[in-house]
């Protein structure tokens, strides 16, 4: 009886399972789970399905189908993509069995196309998410890969799936499944499209990564790969897509290579550019530059062989006539000659015969040495040419260049020329500045109120009266004219055109009254969000926030120091910090980290020792400061500092006097020092009984010498006045013996002072000055009223009193080695920085040129 009832029960169960009767949820857990998902009860469904997943039900396609929908609900796209692939794969196997296919269709109202569509949906979502990801950011899935690498993974994955599905499609067609089950291979089409678009995306990412390198080699490699890809592809859309990138990279390559060639500025470099890049739009310009440089070089060498070389290499060049003219008059050296009419005309220096017919209101000699020596006045900018000046009808000077035959180099004329590099000069016209090169060409037209240029970086800053922008060495804008400030908010420029040192790391700029940083290519590196920002030094930059708090940031914009009410950055690796405590300013010293500094310089052991001596710190690789440190806390009324070759330290004001500290924050004097002061930021001095003492870095005490007055002469020496006479001391109180070549000792000077040139001092005896070098040797004896250095070693322009009439004086040129006059001191005055090998001397209410042999070129 029992067995009969059980048989009836199993028969009912089998029929219910087959036809989908109302009792099925009670007996089939997969069906129950599926119904939970249909009713949006994903939490309960997930609990159930993970139990079934570990049992024999894992071979059922509906389990993987439903698990996909759970992951979709949880927005786990990566998991949904993998599981939907599994669902389709299992479904394809099951649907080859006609009975199983009909059972799934009847029970779950699904066919093979539903499984395919589910997988296709995940392909599309994975693709879209991939496309919307920022290419520059690291993936958040823990892989550490950038978007380009993830993109490549998707391409490989999609291609693998495509190949697998195409293989299964062939099996399904043979078995007739696609006909019976209404299977449309939607995944195949979608995968094919996604792969194509991902490849385009990959090319876009690759293009962006290459263009950002700003590298000639990277651009060349990209163009080389381009031809390989285009030749292997028959897809017209792909070729058009690639062509746009090709043109941009190609143009960027040409521009970058040409700028590099301009920096090199040699004939061979321009010829090589034209050879390497025959399709470049700059090719003709490069060839013209090469020819012009060859012409300048020929004039610089100024011999028959060089002129003939030029004519053979450039037989149809634009300077052919000038070169033939120079060949005919090879040995003639024209010089400006002052006439009785107070005009300048060029004459043959040997015969004084008139060379050209043109008269000028002023003229410089012809420049002959190409890039060997130059002056700020631009007189040597163009080898073989002379800078001349004429006054227009309004008595305004117009400067321009002329060839050796007197013809103008071009039609350009300027109000002023200021040379700032061997082959470049600022020019002024109508109160606007531009730039010309040594070929006389305008690199930048005269359109700007201010121009500053960094010759090492090949980048300049220009100001149009309202906004700043940056240019490259070719005179092209690399940023828009949009910045309200550059480098620092309180930066003041004393002249309108000058050389400048721009930061090597990031450049601080102001946009809409907020400061940030850009890279040298104009790209924003740190957003505009600060009240003030200063250039990076040793890897950190000083910042003032909009809340008027001061701190330091690193190159990524991260705050790396405490905040203070004010910070004064010092050049010696330290800074003065201020905190407002109870309404009063309290001062301290903050030591900046050496880690970035060392890393940036990549110093070796020897250099590390030099740093240790410079900063008075026990610097070793093990104990380098990695963080900011308050070596003197901001609790003091005043802190002063000194920097010299012997000692860098701080004087801290306390109730009983000043205490001295070294750069490690260690106190170095036991007893407080009264009335201390700092002189020229190089020396601590203290007043005792109306006399001055200075800090001796050797004894770490104030000097035993007491003097009436102190003069800082060099980083090593100081002058001390005592009882009306000056003597010279080292910082550690040693008296410097001043001697001449004969061994005579000099002391008790009437005055001492730093010389015009660093490393020298001048001293006075009996009202006359002598010159002393850093070894303590007298180079020029004490017989001059004035001493000036020239660009030739041991040649000095000097002024001496006239015998019998000490109120009058004359000028000449003196040789310090021979102790003889090169130019006798017979002139009322003498200019010494105008043109190499010549001097200007007053003559007939104007100035006439005087050569190195003493020949005066004037009537």
**Nearest partner of 695 among 764, 640, 613, 741, judged by Cα:** 640
Which pairs count as long-range contacts for 245-252, CB under 8 Å and 24+ apart, including other chains?
A: 245/203, 245/204, 245/207, 248/207, 248/211, 249/207, 249/210, 249/211, 249/219, 249/222, 249/223, 250/219, 250/223, 250/279, 252/211, 252/219
pLDDT in tens, 751-770: 999 998 888 999 999 999 99
Largest Cα–Cα distance of the chain, in whole Å? 157
Dihedrals φ, ψ of 524, to 5°?
-70, 125
Read off φ and ψ for residue 283, nearest 5 degrees. -60, -50
3-state helix, strand, coil in the chain (%, to 5): 35, 30, 35
Question: Angle at CA 316, nearest 5°, toward 313 and 318?
Answer: 105
**Could you report the per-residue pLDDT of 449-478, keeping only the tens digit for each?**
999 999 988 899 999 999 999 999 999 999
pLDDT of residue 232: 56
User: What are the DSSP E strand ranges found in 768-819?
Assistant: 768-772, 778-784, 786-789, 795-802, 805-815
- 9-23, 38-52, 655-669, 804-818: which range is least confident on average? 9-23
Which pLDDT score is estimated for 72? 84
Helices (H), 54-175: 61-73, 77-95, 98-108, 112-132, 147-175
Residues 446 and 397 sit within 8 Å (Cβ to Cβ)? no
CA dist 687 and 702 (Å) reads: 10
Output the pTM of the full model: 0.71
pLDDT above 50 for 143: no
DSSP 59: G
CA atoms within 13 A on the CB side of 771: 25
The Cβ of residue 209 has, within 10 Å, a number of other Cβ atoms equal to 15
Distance CA 94, CA 84 (A): 15
Each residue's pLDDT tens digit, 723-738: 999 999 998 899 999 9
Distance CA 186, CA 176 (A): 17
Tokens 């209404």 found at: 182
The span from the CA of 19 to the CA of 558, in Å, is: 67
pLDDT at 516: 95
Q: Exposed/middle/buried for 655, CB within 10 Å: 0-12, 13-18, 19+?
A: exposed
Give the containing element (helix H, strand E) for 524: strand 524-530
Q: What CA–CA distance (Å, rounded) separates 267 from 29? A: 85
Q: What's residue 243's pLDDT? A: 67
pLDDT (tens digit per residue) in 465-517: 999 999 999 999 999 999 999 998 777 888 999 999 888 878 999 998 999 99
- Give me the mean pLDDT over the 229-250 stretch: 64
Name the region of 109 (left: φ>0; alpha: ψ -120 to 50; beta: rest): left
* Arithmetic mean of pLDDT, 510-525: 89
pLDDT tens-digit readout, 380-438: 999 889 999 999 888 899 999 999 889 999 999 999 999 999 889 999 999 999 999 99
Residue from 791, 782, 789, 811 nearest 799 by CA = 811
Distance CA 139, CA 593 (A): 32
Q: How far apart are the first and last CA of the chain?
A: 150
- Do residues 747 and 738 lie in contact, with contact meaning Cβ atoms separated by under 8 Å? yes
pLDDT in tens, 260-293: 898 888 999 999 999 999 999 999 999 999 999 8
- How many C-beta atoms lie closer than 10 Å to residue 222's C-beta? 22
Alpha-helix runs per DSSP H in 503-601: 595-601
Dihedral angle over CA of 747, 748, 752, 755, nearest 10: -20
What is the pLDDT at residue 341?
Answer: 92
Tokens of 215: 């590298």
Over residues 686-737, the pLDDT tens digits come to 998 889 999 888 888 889 999 999 999 988 899 999 999 999 999 889 999 9
Q: Half-sphere exposure (CA, 13 Å, Cβ side) for 644?
A: 24
Q: pLDDT at position 322, please?
A: 87
What lies within 8 Å, CB to CB, of 206 at 6+ separation is 148, 222
Strands, DSSP E only, in 197-339? 334-338
Contact 419, 376 (CB under 8 A): yes
Q: How many CB atoms lie within 10 A of CB 416?
A: 15
What pLDDT is recorded for position 597? 39
**Token representation of residue 817:** 């080695």
| pLDDT-based confidence at residue 600 (cuts at 50, 70, 90) | very low
Q: Give the integer Cα–Cα distance in Å for 811 and 813.
A: 7
Half-sphere CA count of 656, side-chain side, radius 13 A: 5
- Give the C-alpha separation, 417 to 427, whole Å: 5
Rg, C-alpha atoms of the chain: 42
């Amino acid at each position: 009886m029992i067995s009969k009832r059980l048989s009836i029960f199993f028969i009912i169960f089998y029929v219910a399972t087959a036809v989908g009767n109302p009792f099925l949820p009670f007996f089939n857990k997969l069906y129950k789970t599926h119904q939970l998902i249909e009713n949006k009860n994903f939490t309960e469904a997930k609990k159930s399905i993970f139990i079934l997943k570990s049992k024999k039900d894992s071979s059922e396609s509906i389990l993987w189908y439903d698990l996909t929908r759970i992951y979709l609900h949880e927005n786990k796209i990566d998991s949904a993509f993998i599981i939907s692939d599994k669902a389709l794969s299992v479904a394809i196997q099951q649907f080859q069995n006609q009975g199983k296919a009909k059972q799934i269709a009847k029970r779950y109202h699904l066919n093979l196309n539903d499984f395919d569509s589910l997988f296709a949906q995940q392909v599309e979502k994975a693709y879209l998410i991939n496309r919307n990801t920022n290419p520059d950011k690291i993936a958040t899935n823990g892989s550490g890969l950038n978007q380009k690498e993830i993109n490549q993974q998707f391409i490989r994955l999609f291609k693998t799936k495509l190949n697998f599905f195409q293989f299964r499609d062939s099996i399904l067609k043979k078995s007739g499944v696609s006909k019976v089950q209404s299977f449309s291979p939607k995944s195949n089409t979608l995968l094919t499209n996604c792969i194509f678009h991902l490849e385009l995306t990959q090319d876009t990412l690759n293009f962006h990564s290459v263009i950002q390198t700003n590298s000639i080699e990277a651009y060349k490699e990209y163009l080389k790969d381009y031809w390989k890809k285009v030749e292997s592809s028959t897809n017209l859309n792909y070729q058009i897509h690639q062509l746009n990138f090709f043109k941009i990279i190609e143009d960027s390559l040409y521009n970058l290579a040409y700028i590099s060639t301009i920096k090199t500025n040699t004939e061979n470099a321009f010829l090589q550019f034209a050879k390497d890049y025959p399709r470049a739009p700059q090719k003709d310009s490069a060839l013209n530059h090469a020819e012009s440089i060859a012409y300048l070089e020929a004039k610089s060498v100024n011999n028959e062989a060089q002129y003939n070389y030029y004519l053979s290499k450039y037989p149809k060049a634009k300077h052919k006539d000038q070169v033939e003219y120079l060949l005919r008059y090879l040995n003639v050296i024209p010089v400006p000659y002052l006439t009785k009419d107070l005009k300048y005309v060029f004459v043959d220096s040997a015969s004084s015969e008139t060379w050209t017919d043109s008269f000028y209101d002023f003229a410089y000699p012809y420049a002959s040495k190409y890039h060997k020596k130059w002056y700020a006045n631009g007189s040597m900018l163009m080898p073989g040419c002379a800078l001349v000046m004429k006054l227009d009808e309004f008595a305004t000077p117009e400067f321009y260049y002329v060839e050796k035959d007197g013809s103008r180099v071009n039609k350009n004329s300027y109000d002023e020329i200021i040379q700032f590099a061997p082959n470049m000069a600022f020019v002024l016209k109508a109160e606007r500045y531009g730039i010309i090169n040594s070929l006389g060409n305008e690199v930048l037209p005269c359109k700007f109120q201010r121009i500053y240029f960094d010759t090492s970086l090949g980048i300049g800053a220009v100001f149009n009266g309202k906004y700043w922008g940056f240019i490259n060495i070719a005179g092209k804008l690399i940023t828009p004219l949009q910045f309200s400030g550059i480098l620092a908010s309180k930066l003041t420029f004393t002249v309108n055109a000058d050389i400048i040192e721009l930061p090597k790391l990031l450049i601080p700029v102001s946009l809409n009254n907020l400061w940030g940083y850009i890279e040298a290519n104009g790209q924003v590196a740190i957003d505009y969000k600060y009240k003030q920002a200063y250039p990076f030094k040793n890897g950190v930059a000083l910042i003032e926030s909009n809340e008027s708090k001061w701190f330091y940031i690193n190159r990524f914009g991260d705050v790396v120091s405490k905040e203070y009410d004010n910070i004064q950055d010092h050049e010696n690796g330290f800074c003065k910090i201020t905190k407002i405590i109870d309404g009063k300013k309290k001062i301290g010293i903050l030591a900046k980290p050496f880690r970035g500094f060392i890393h940036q310089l990549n110093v070796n052991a020897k250099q590390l020792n030099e740093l240790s001596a410079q900063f008075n710190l026990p610097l070793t690789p093990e104990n380098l400061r990695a963080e900011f440190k308050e070596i003197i806390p901001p609790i003091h009324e005043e802190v002063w500092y000194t920097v010299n070759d012997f000692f860098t330290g701080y004087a801290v004001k306390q109730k009983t006097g000043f205490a001295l500290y070294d750069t490690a924050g260690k106190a170095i004097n036991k007893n407080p020092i009264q009335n201390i002061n700092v002189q020229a930021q190089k020396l601590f001095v203290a007043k005792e009984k109306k006399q001055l003492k200075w800090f001796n870095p050797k004894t770490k005490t104030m000097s035993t010498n007491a003097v009436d007055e102190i003069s800082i002469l060099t980083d090593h020496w100081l002058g001390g006045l005592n009882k009306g006479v000056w003597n010279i001391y080292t910082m550690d109180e040693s008296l410097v013996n001043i001697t001449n070549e004969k061994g005579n000792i000099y002391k008790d000077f009437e005055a001492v002072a730093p010389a015009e040139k660093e490393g020298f001092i001048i001293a006075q005896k009996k009202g006359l000055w002598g010159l002393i070098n850093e070894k303590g040797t007298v180079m020029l004896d004490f017989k001059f009223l004035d001493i000036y250095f020239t660009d030739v070693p041991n040649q000095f322009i000097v002024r001496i009193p006239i015998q019998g009439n000490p109120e009058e004086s004359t000028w000449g040129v003196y040789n310090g080695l021979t102790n003889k006059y090169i130019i006798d001191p017979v002139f009322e005055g003498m200019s010494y920085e105008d043109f190499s090998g010549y001097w200007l001397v007053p003559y007939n209410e104007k100035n006439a040129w005087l050569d190195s042999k003493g020949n005066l070129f004037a009537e």
